[in-house]
Structure 1
Amino acid sequence: MSALITQIKDGMKEAMRAKQKVRLATIRMLLAQIKQVEVDERKELTDTDVLAILDKMIKQRRDSISQFESAGRQELADNEKAEIEALQEFMPQALSEAEIAAMITSAIAESGAETMRDMGKVMAILKPQMQGRADMGAVSGQVKAQLN
């Protein structure tokens, strides 16, 4: 079992003891999603796989928040924000702008990328290093800017 899954299960136990209903429900939802992927793919997930699931769940909640706020449903948006907080507890420390820029420069040099056609090579190097630690959409924009 990955260290991150163990950490998530410990977080669930803490939430039970502290009677934190929203956090507990969110962690249970996360564990259910992890189990679903394990069953579907018939493999034990690594920390990287779990981070990808966490990243996806956080992104879904951010999308929901914007939709709820535009529909005037603030109580639902607040619930989604609480779920994001519970999920982010298990994400690694976010990278700073300087760290991201340095990693992009290094990946471009490592892949030998010169034009936009080489962007896939650069992103293939960066994605495993930055998974869950940076917004890959923003990173993609920075890579485009450096390759142009």
Structure 2
Amino acid sequence: MAELKQQLRNDMTAAMKARDKVRLRTLRMVLTAISEAEVSGNATVELTDEQVRDVLINQAKRRREAEQEFRTAGRDELADAEQEEAAVLADYLPQPLTEAELAELVAAAIAETGAKELGPRGMGPVMGKLTPQTKGRADGKAVAAEVKRQLSA
């Protein structure tokens, strides 16, 4: 069993014992999403830690998007619940990149791919290089914006 999945199960048990409803609800939801991902193909497959992390990233993104939608609709109580769930998921995700770290990674990728000469057309190779490095640590829109900024400068 994947180490991260086992940690999620152990933390769910601890949340049950502590009667932490938010953490329990969130961990149940994530473990259900992991189980669905495991049985989604023709055969049941055990997910690796990397694949479990991908499920966590996806679920955290859903929570952030739902929170924004609820706030826009004036449903603050539901938005607060989504925010609490996102905070629980953040405990299991890699540390987010700061703006300075992101700018440094983008500059290195641009130099490595030689995309500076291509201008805006060089965005594809740079994004291809950056995506694995920033996955789960920075929003794709923020990465793309930084790449565009540095390529146009």
TM over 0.5: yes
Structure 1's unaligned 5+ residue stretches are none
Aligned residues: 148
Alignment of 1:94-113 (within 5 A): 94-113=96-115
The 2-side partners of 1:50 and 1:122 are apart by 26
TM, length-normalised to structure 2: 0.85
SS in 2 for 1:127: helix
Task: Report the equivalent of 2:126.
Answer: 122
Structure 2 matches for 1:1-148, cutoff 5 A?
A: 1-41=1-41, 42=43, 43-114=45-116, 115=118, 116-148=120-152
- How much identity, in percent, do the aligned residues show? 47
Amino acid in the other structure paired with 1:125: K
**Structure 2 vs 1, CA of residues 126 and 61 (structure 1 numbering), >3 Å: closer, same or farther?**
same
Root-mean-square deviation (CA, aligned residues, Å) is: 1.8
TM-score, with structure 1 as normaliser: 0.87
Q: Runs of 4 or more off by more than 4 Å in structure 1?
A: none
Read off the aligned partner of 2:121 and give its amino acid letter: R
Q: Relative contact order: is structure 1 or structure 2 higher (C-alpha 8 Å, sep ≥ 6)?
A: 1
Structure 2: runs of 5 or more not aligned: none
Distance in structure 1 (CA, Å) of the matches to 2:74 and 2:86: 19
> How many angstroms does 1:91 deviate by?
0.8
CA contact under 8 A between 1:51 and 1:131: conserved in structure 2? no
